[in-house]
């Protein structure tokens, strides 16, 4: 693509080569500027085709540094203005100013939106054009030209304004669009907060009442609790802090166990730290086993407390069942010994089981000893 | 104490109020109910109950909910227990810093609420595992921060941290006492001390939350 890709687009549409179409435009150009006009007309009115894929998009690169070429052509235009049109210095200044405006327009309207040109080039050409424009303005104002009174001053101020506008235009446009998107985000957030407040006041309360009235271990209460969890997650979903990953995974574990067993699993998670993936996996799997174990043998309320710290991450799973004696568990039962203790040891952690009349508590630690 | 404890229930959902009323222990006498901030203030000041069961989210007033009730009402000898479906730290801290002596979730059963009311009426604080976990987090316990002296408000002492951890793990006060070889009374003292710190501490996290919610 040399200029705007009109020739290439037309060529694709007609099934000819791009070069042929380009030559047609060039040949038509001397006929009263027909080629140029046709080109501009097509450019303005024909919709831009989306690139079919990334490869094609890469190929669609504007090869001509139009703005730069225009700048180079600036002295020629100035010369044409003063000599050919016979307008003297005023003509030269006007010609130069016109070209500068064209450069700025091209730079703002075309180059800036085209990622294939580096920002330094876009800004550079624009700054250069603005500089020349300012120079023109100063020259016009100083009356280097034949002082022609009001017109000169007006022209000079106009040029100066355009030059200043050019310098600040991108920043203004950016500021404006940022303001717009910020406003949209704020409105969205407000709507969400309003909806959350409403749901909070109505649905969550009702779900709590249902659970209370139906009794903790009934099917209805479990359904209500699952719904409450889901809604709560949606309502209070904020930016997830580091280490929230483990807490979130453990909450998921609690949720699934609650769905499968008539128990209430309360998860309290605090602290944050990065854990290696295998340690995290071992903790989650061992916690799942511990919670399932508690749900099967004890039932009722199960407390899960997670303390995530850099020195050591600990998970406490506690139930209020009758308890059991680990030593009395037959070797064939994999549950506690293999899935919890063995798994934690393999991952470089440790697990202990304490069981008494008031319940059982399984403690998982990773790493095995606290890091200093 | 042979006299029955008097209670006022403040919640904007009548279905929740009547449910709770039916579930509460016989040892508690419900004097009245209220559904909005202004109604709650009026009811509490008129009836002067031992304990007010206060929902965190309430309509009316200046929109401050339960915390606003506690700040505006002349509480006298009335103590407050916050009840909420909300888990969010802002809600919990807000109402505790406004003066509530404890916080439990609305999912708690009638007997649990009744026990909490009795504890509050006796001058002690009620901490759910969630509140204990939050306190540990807010006071930097996972990072190993620890108070040097008893007077320090911004960090927990070693003992307080131990007590909070047991509560977060789901232990009752009695069980905490047995674990740490101390009396239940001592556990209660520690919990009350933590509650005081939670109310008075100027720790950055707490202040930030409070400011955000326009509580200060």
How far is it, in rounded angstroms, from Cα A365 to Cα A368?
6
The burial class, CB within 10 Å (0-12 / 13-18 / 19+), for A36 is middle
Q: Which of B88, B106, B168 sits opposite A208 (nearest CB)?
A: B106
Which residues lie closer than 8 Å to B49 by C-beta, 6 or more apart? B6, B7, B8, B31, B32, B78
CB-CB under 8 Å, A270 with B165:
no
Asked casually if ipTM beats, i.e. exceeds, 0.85, the reply is no
pLDDT 10s digits, A322-340? 767 666 665 555 567 778 8
What average pLDDT does range B58-87 have in this prediction? Answer: 83
In this prediction, the residues of chain A whose per-residue pLDDT falls under 50 are: 239-243
Query: Residue A239: what pLDDT?
Result: 47
How far is it, in rounded angstroms, from Cα A56 to Cα A52?
6
Using a CB-CB distance cutoff of 8 angstroms, which residues of chain B are in contact with residue A205? Answer: 13, 16, 85, 106
Q: Does the pLDDT value for residue B141 go beyond 80? A: no
Question: What are the residue boundaries of the structural domains of chain A, listed by start?
Answer: 6-140, 241-366
**E-assigned strand segments in chain A:** 263-270, 300-307, 313-318, 350-356, 359-366
pLDDT 10s digits, B27-42? 888 999 998 899 999 9
Query: Residue B208: what pLDDT?
Result: 63
Q: How far is B34 from chain A (nearest CA, A)?
A: 16
Query: Residue B216: what pLDDT?
Result: 44
How far is it, in rounded angstroms, from Cα B204 to Cα B184?
32
Using a CB-CB distance cutoff of 8 angstroms, which residues of chain B are in contact with residue A321? Answer: none
DSSP for chain B reads --SPEEEEEE-S-HHHHHHHHHHS-TTEEEEEEE-SHHHHHHHHHHH--SEEEEES---STTS-HHHHHHHHS--TT-EEEEEES---HHHHHHHHHTT-SEEEETTS-HHHHHHHHHHHHTT--EE-HHHHHHHHHHTTTTTT---SSTT-SSS--HHHHHHHHHHHTT--HHHHHHHHT--HHHHHHHHHHHHHHHHH---HHHHHHHHHTT--
Instruction: Check residues A160 and B133 and name the one with the higher pLDDT.
Output: B133
What average pLDDT does range B150-171 have in this prediction? Answer: 85
C-alpha separations of A275 from A163, A289, B74 in Å: 56, 20, 50
CB-CB under 8 Å, A212 with B19:
yes
**E-assigned strand segments in A141-226:** none
Q: Does the pLDDT value for residue B214 go beyond 60? A: no
What average pLDDT does range B182-201 have in this prediction? Answer: 89
Q: How far is A179 from chain B (nearest CA, A)?
A: 23
Using a CB-CB distance cutoff of 8 angstroms, which residues of chain B are in contact with residue A273? Answer: 142
**Beta-ladder partners of A266:** A303
Flag whether residue B171 sits within 8 Å of chain A, measured between CB atoms: yes
What residue has token string 């998107």?
A: A181
Q: Is B128:B136 a contact under the CB 8 Å cutoff?
A: no
CB-CB under 8 Å, B19 with A303:
no
How far is it, in rounded angstroms, from Cα A353 to Cα A333?
15
The structural domains of chain B, ordered by start, are 1-123 (3.40.50.2300), 125-216 (1.10.10.10)
How far is it, in rounded angstroms, from Cα B170 to Cα A301?
9
Average pLDDT, chain B: 83
What average pLDDT does range B192-216 have in this prediction? Answer: 69
Using a CB-CB distance cutoff of 8 angstroms, which residues of chain A are in contact with residue B141? Answer: 270-271, 307
Q: Which of A216, A269, A303 sits opposite B169 (nearest CB)?
A: A303
Domain spanning A241-366 has what CATH number? Answer: 3.30.565.10
Using a CB-CB distance cutoff of 8 angstroms, which residues of chain B are in contact with residue A316? Answer: 169-170
Residues of chain B with pLDDT > 90: what percent? Answer: 19
């Amino acid at each position: 693509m040399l200029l705007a890709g009109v020739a290439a687009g037309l060529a694709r549409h007609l099934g000819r080569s791009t070069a042929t179409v380009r030559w047609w435009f060039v040949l038509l150009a001397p006929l009263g500027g027909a080629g140029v006009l046709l080109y501009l007309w097509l450019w303005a009115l024909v919709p831009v085709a989306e690139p079919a894929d990334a490869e094609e998009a890469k190929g669609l690169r504007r090869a001509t540094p139009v703005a730069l070429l225009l700048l180079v052509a600036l002295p020629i235009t100035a010369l044409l203005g003063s000599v050919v049109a016979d307008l003297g210095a005023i003509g030269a200044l006007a010609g130069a100013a016109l070209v500068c405006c064209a450069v700025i327009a091209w730079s703002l309207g075309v180059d800036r939106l085209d990622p294939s040109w580096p920002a330094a080039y876009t800004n550079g050409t624009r700054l250069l054009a603005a500089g020349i424009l300012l120079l023109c303005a100063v020259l016009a104002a100083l009356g280097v030209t034949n002082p022609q009174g009001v017109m000169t001053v007006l022209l000079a101020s106009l040029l100066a304004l355009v030059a200043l506008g050019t310098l600040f235009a991108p920043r203004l446009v950016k500021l404006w669009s940022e303001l717009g998107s910020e406003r949209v985000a704020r409105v969205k957030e407000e709507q969400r907060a309003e909806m959350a407040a409403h749901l909070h006041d109505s649905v969550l309360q009702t779900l709590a009442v249902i659970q209370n009235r139906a009794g903790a271990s009934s099917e209805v209460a479990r359904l209500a609790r699952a719904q409450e969890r889901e809604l709560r997650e949606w309502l209070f979903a904020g930016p997830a802090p580091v280490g929230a990953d483990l807490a979130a995974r453990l909450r998921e574990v609690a949720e699934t166990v609650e769905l499968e067993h008539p128990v209430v699993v309360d998860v309290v998670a605090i602290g944050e730290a990065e854990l290696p993936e295998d340690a995290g996996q071992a903790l989650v799997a061992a916690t799942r086993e511990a919670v399932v174990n508690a749900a099967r043998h004890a039932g009722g309320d199960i407390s899960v407390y997670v303390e995530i710290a850099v020195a050591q991450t600990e998970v406490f799973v506690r139930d209020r069942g009758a308890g059991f004696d680990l030593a009395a568990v037959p070797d064939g039962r994999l549950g506690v010994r293999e899935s919890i203790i063995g798994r934690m040891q393999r991952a470089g952690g440790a697990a202990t089981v304490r069981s008494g009349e008031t319940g059982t508590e399984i403690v998982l630690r990773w790493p095995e000893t606290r890091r200093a | 104490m042979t006299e029955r404890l008097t209670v006022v229930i403040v919640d904007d959902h009548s279905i929740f109020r009547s449910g709770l009323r039916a579930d509460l222990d016989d040892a508690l006498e419900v004097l009245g109910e209220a559904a909005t901030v202004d109604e709650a203030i009026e009811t509490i000041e008129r009836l002067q109950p031992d304990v007010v069961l206060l929902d965190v989210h309430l309509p009316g007033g200046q929109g401050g909910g339960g915390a606003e009730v506690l700040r505006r009402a002349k509480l006298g000898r009335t103590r407050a227990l916050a009840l909420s479906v909300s888990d969010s730290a802002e809600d919990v801290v807000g109402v505790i810093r406004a003066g509530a002596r404890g916080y439990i979730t609305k999912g708690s059963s009638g007997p649990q609420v009744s026990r909490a009311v009795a504890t509050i009426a006796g001058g002690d604080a009620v901490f759910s595992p969630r509140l204990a976990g939050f306190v540990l987090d807010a006071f930097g316990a996972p990072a190993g921060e620890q108070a040097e002296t008893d007077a320090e408000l911004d960090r927990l002492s070693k003992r307080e941290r131990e007590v909070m951890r047991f509560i977060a793990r789901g232990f009752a006060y009695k069980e905490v006492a047995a674990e740490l070889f101390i009396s239940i009374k001592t556990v209660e003292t520690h919990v009350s001390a933590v509650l005081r710190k939670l109310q008075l501490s100027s720790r950055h996290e707490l202040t930030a939350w409070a400011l955000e919610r326009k509580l200060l």
